[in-house]
Structure 1
Amino acid sequence: MQSKLLNADQTGAIEEAARLLKSGHLIAFPTDTLYGVGADILNAQAIQQLYVAKGRSLKKGIPVLLSDIGKLEDIVRQTPDFALSLAQKFWPGPLTLILPKQDHIPGIISPDDNVAVRVPDNDVARKFIRAAGGMVVTSSANRSGEPPALNAQEALAALGDSIAAVLDGGRVVLGVASTIVDCTISPPRILREGPLSTEDLSLVKVKET
């Protein structure tokens, strides 16, 4: 299949991208941080193809992007108060939280009992994710170890042979991978500092249980 370049501003483009994704194909799309490449969370074969397309080790796992904070309960087993406080403060935004996943979530998404989740601050991304069911397994739209894609053309050049379409929403705003916080431990631990710094996160008031 030749990769399609879908203009996100055109009527039906987002819906077509979601239809292709739910049919088992990989789709590249913009987020607030970088262009991502996504697979249907219910399709283990498509998720496997995502690992192969990126040249990514199965030991690393792949995050899941959500359409809104309400989808947390569909994927996460429990959300500690400090994690919920961070999500309420910084979602939508460049913050990825690692939380314990529900049993029905495919094991291929991560090698352990946890899952990395985020709600991107990008209208095109959230509309696409919502049209695809509210959750899309997503990694950066580049081969592992190579520079990330900041626009649709770069995503197409990096993964064109592996994806069915690129949803073109223009150049990304931030151009830096998200901050990652492990919320499976207390206190939570920053695994990667991105657009949100340690100082930004420390300003959040966490309710004591």
Structure 2
Amino acid sequence: MSRPSGARERLTRVNVYDCQDPAERTTGLDEAVNALGRGALVVLPTDTVYGIAADAFDGRAVAGLLAAKGRGRQMPPPVLVGTVETLDGLATEVPAVVRDLVKTFWPGPLTIVCLAQPSLAWDLGDTDGTVALRMPADETAIALLRRTGPLAVSSANLSGQPSPHTAAQAVAYFGDKVAVYLDAGRAGGGTASTIVDATGERLTILREGALSRAELAAVAPELAEEAEPTADGDTSSGAMADGDTSSGATADGASSGATADGASSDGASSDGASSAGATPDGGTAAAGEGDRAR
């Protein structure tokens, strides 16, 4: 693939794998699995924007992800999953309507903020007991997730900077701070995931992204009208963590309980998005979460 001339030299000094070439994709996935297993960071494509990933169950790796982005624990990353069934392993008290949304829009640009399973041995940051989950519609991301299990993923940008749509843009942000870059060409839609908070008495859209309110309301009629703000003016269950794209997202990446990360975390946001705040996918959430996951 052609790359911006300014990034070409840096690409030769980091581990970038062309996932549009079958043989190199296989090698890149193997290297990414190994890197994540030893606590290193990996950049991967999603259907929204490029995300930066860490093993969701390795607290040091997640802390390293946040540090690389210039973000604190109050902006936890969202979690990307490789199968719909993983939802029940990570979330509890999942409403039937959320299952309908997931059945309809996963894999795809929908981040759901749920109550996290209390028994999970992980530390994503200050999540207030929530987790933002998304299953990306990207073959390379899914291939990786099905080998590694859930990954904490935020948009592959420095906090407050634009979300990357190419691996070269991610390299410009992180260089050799990331062990492996999986380059699958320009990332999908470029619009952050939509984040829905399912932790309250009724569903709430924290950020309207790639999926419109009308599309969601066709499956979940209660989303047809915007929820009334709470006393403090917030309609989220804790807000969003990273501005990326999660609800605490993404990815891009969105977590509830934080603020999103601006990422767009998705993700993003995400796509791309964080458990209490983001999605690796690159959009901007209502609480300033443009970074998340995707």
What's the TM-score bracket when you normalise by the shorter of the two chains?
over 0.9
Asked if 1:21 is matched to 2:32, the reply is no
CA distance in 2, matches of 1:49, 1:128: 20
Q: Does 1:107 align with 2:123?
A: yes
The structure carrying a bigger strand percent of its residues is: 1
Say whether residues 1:117 and 2:133 are aligned partners. Answer: yes
The answer as to 2:18 corresponding to 1:7 is: yes
Asked if 2 retains the 8 angstrom alpha-carbon contact of 1:75 and 1:105, the reply is no
Normalised by the length of structure 1, the TM-score is 0.93
Q: CA deviation at 1:106?
A: 1.7
Cα deviations by residue, 1:31-89 (Å, 9 ceiling, x for unpaired): 00000000011210000000000011311211000001011122112311111111111
Deviation for aligned residue 1:90:
0.3
What RMSD over aligned residues (CA atoms) do the two structures have, in Å?
A: 1.6
| Equivalent residue number for residue 95 of structure 1 | 110
Matched, 1:129 2:145: yes
The equivalent residue for 2:287 is none
Paired letter, 2:18: N
Aligned match for 2:72, one of 41, 57, 62: 57
Q: How far apart, CA to CA, are the structure 2 residues paired with 1:63 and 1:33?
A: 14
The question of 1:80 aligning with 2:95 is answered yes
Whole-angstrom distance in 1 between the partners of 2:124 and 2:140? 26
Over the matched positions of the two proteins, sequence identity in percent amounts to 37
Identify unmatched segments of 5+ residues in structure 2. Answer: 1-12, 222-294
- In the alignment, what sits opposite 1:156? 171
2: distance between equivalents of 1:108 and 1:149? 22
8 Å CA contact 1:182, 1:190 repeated in 2: yes
Return 5+ residue gaps in structure 1 as ranges: none
Q: Partners in 1 of 2:212 and 2:16 — Cα distance?
A: 35
- Please give the per-residue CA displacement for 1:118-171, whole angstroms capped at 9, x wherever unaligned: 000001000011111x21000000001000010111111111142111111111
- Secondary structure (helix, strand or coil) at the match of 2:186 reads coil
